[in-house]
Amino acid sequence: MKTKHPLLFVIILVALIVQSCSSPKNIVKLLPKEETSKWLYGQPILTDSIYGVAYEIGFDRLQDDQYWFDFHITNRSNMPLLVDPAQFSYQAFDPLMNPKSQQPITAIDPEIKIQQFDKDIARNQAVSKNRVGLVIMGIGASVVANAIIGTENPRNNNLRHAVTDGIMEASFAAGHEARFEVQNLNELKDAWENGTIRKTTLDTNFSMHGKVFFPATPDASYLRIFIPIDDHTLEFDFKQVQFPAN
């Protein structure tokens, strides 16, 4: 039995050394493939329009393996416009502009995301009712946000992250923990409900803005976003660049 302890110590030591020697990830940005004429607070904006419908798209960040984009959509046509982010997609390319996948990658559908939050909230509420009094020592409670809350500012300046952090230092009943998670899941659900582009009938002379999320392709060199409008498709080209964090 004694011979196992030195081996365990060596394994832990090696793991710590590897972790301490790992370098930070590169900073990934998507920039317009061609020079753009519109900027907003340091963010380059790609614009295009057809049939009186105008789209403005700016890359925000890569986080949690997702591309975050700011969308601003204006309908100046003489008919209502159905905006559906589930129809947005992009194609990733290598340096020679060869597609990296057979099919374009679609945007994350906010309605599916919100429905998942509803399910998670319902499950945690059931836990809160059924497990009151069961104590769990040293629970670490945090909910990581992948959405942000928008404002009426097109730049979404006054955004706040729906994040809870830290480790709870006391002992909590499992029911209390479930209620804590429900509270934060409700914040995340609210962020997706109010801060994203959702399926909407956009009337004439109205506009909308918000976030659109895509699963990321970090090893791509170029991205082309596709926005269908009736029988036409708008295309927005980005190049992906990486900057060393050190």
SS3 letters across 44-56: EEEEEEECCEEEE
Average of per-residue pLDDT across 2-8: 55
Average of per-residue pLDDT across 26-37: 89
Q: What percent of the chain has pLDDT over 90?
A: 50
Residue 197: count of CB within 10 angstroms of its CB = 23
Average of per-residue pLDDT across 135-144: 32
**Pair 46, 58: CB distance under 8 Å:** yes
Q: Regarding predicted confidence, which is higher, 19 or 227?
A: 227
pLDDT at 13: 57
Q: Regarding predicted confidence, which is higher, 148 or 87?
A: 87
Does the domain formed by 24-109+198-243 have CATH 2.60.40?
yes
Least confident range of 62-71, 87-96, 124-133: 124-133
pLDDT at 12: 60
Mean pLDDT of the chain: 77
Give the start-to-end residue ranges of the domains of the chain: 24-109+198-243, 112-194
Q: Which residue, 233, 227, 229, is CA-closest to 88?
A: 227
Give 235's pLDDT tier (boundaries 50, 70, 90).
very high
Q: Regarding predicted confidence, which is higher, 88 or 9?
A: 88
Token couple for 72: 């601003």
**Pair 57, 44: CB distance under 8 Å:** no
pLDDT at 10: 56
Q: Which residue, 200, 229, 201, is CA-closest to 212?
A: 200
Give 233's pLDDT tier (boundaries 50, 70, 90).
very high
Q: Regarding predicted confidence, which is higher, 224 or 150?
A: 224
Average of per-residue pLDDT across 107-122: 91
Q: Which residue, 28, 72, 33, 43, is CA-closest to 237?
A: 33
- DSSP E strands, 36-119: 38-40, 43-50, 53-63, 66-75, 81-83, 89-93, 105-106
pTM value > 0.75: no
Least confident range of 17-26, 27-36, 187-196, 219-228: 17-26
Instruction: Report the distance separating Cα 63 and Cα 129, nearest Å.
Output: 35
What does residue 77 show for φ and ψ, rounded to 5 degrees?
Answer: -80, 180
Could you read off the pLDDT of 119-137 as tens digits, one per residue? 988 887 766 555 443 333 3
